[in-house]
Structure 1
Amino acid sequence: MANQEVQDYLNNTVATLGVFYTKLHQHHWYVRGSHFYTLHEKFEELYDSVNEVFDEVAERLITIGGKPYSTLKEFIDHSAIQESPYTTEKSATEMVESIVSDLRILTDSLNKGIQLTGDAGDDVTQDLLIGYKTDVDKNIWMYQAFLGKSPVE
């Protein structure tokens, strides 16, 4: 059903979502300021959502014969999103900008995956990716609105 290229793509997506999930926790724990309550809650909602997709993508990979990455080292080594240790204080705005940047990396990756799975005839995986891209695009819009920006800026 799926070829090795689709399996490799999904595995890299697992790694990317693993790193993103951890970064979102970091923002959730360290956010400060007048928007604390709103952002603390929103960051938690986003990492919960990422966790669901993280699991769905890994399970889809297993379903098509792959073996998902499952260690932090594998996640870091294969993620499109770079980890960012919290060594200096970041403003709430900087955190939201970081999230938007990571969401844009995800949407670019999802576009490639949608094309790849379409070419491979893997409609089920393609549908999964299209559904997730819809959520990512919506989150870009919402976090950009928080920053007072257009979703396409």
Structure 2
Amino acid sequence: MSVNKLGLPVKETEELVNELNVLLANFQVYYQNLRGIHWNIRGKRFFELHVKFEELYNDAQVKVDMIAERVLTLGGVPLHTLADYLAVNKLKISKNVSQDVDAVQVIIDSIGGLLQLERTILAQSAAIDDEGTNSMMSDFISEQEKTLWMMEAWLS
């Protein structure tokens, strides 16, 4: 078995890079969904949600950068065009969402999709002892599980 400069198996690392690029693309769609609901939110909860959505899209932007840098660290090339993102996106693209409940539901659905991708990556990275990716996915998952709980609590 050949290993890369990090001591990770080459073939499995390439497969992991592909999955990280799918996650990167989906995070970009999530980010843009958040921007859209941040810009378009209306109603009596505007001030509360406008600030929360900004917090979430700023966090997503940081995570996008982290994922791209992990792809580079593993020797890959991060996807970086809208066409590439749309080609591998698995999340629903939201448009003209302005009502509070609908906006929060977009977030819940998106986080659910991201968690599925992250758990797949976590399993792959654990299988090859890639602690860097494991750690990043574990952090993402625990943060997003909490956000998901909070959004669902808000809906109820």
Q: 2 CA distance for matches of 1:16 and 1:91?
A: 23
TM-score by length of 2: 0.90
TM-score by length of 1: 0.91
Pairs within 5 Å for 1:1-153:
1=8, 3-86=13-96, 90-148=98-156
Segments of 5+ residues of structure 2 without an aligned counterpart are: 1-7
- State the shift of 1:111 in Å: 1.1
Segments of 5+ residues of structure 1 without an aligned counterpart are: 149-153
Q: 1 CA distance for matches of 2:29 and 2:101?
A: 20
Q: 1 CA distance for matches of 2:107 and 2:128?
A: 31
- State the shift of 1:84 in Å: 2.7
1:151 paired residue number: none
Q: 2 CA distance for matches of 1:81 and 1:133?
A: 17
Q: 1 CA distance for matches of 2:38 and 2:98?
A: 12
Q: How many residue pairs are counted as aligned between the two chains? A: 146
Task: Render the CA deviation track for 1:100-146: whole Å, top value 9, x for unaligned.
Answer: 01111111111111111101221111110100111110110111111
Across the aligned residues of Structure 1 and Structure 2, the Cα RMSD in angstroms comes to 1.1
Task: Name segments (4+ residues, structure 1) moved above 4 Å.
Answer: none
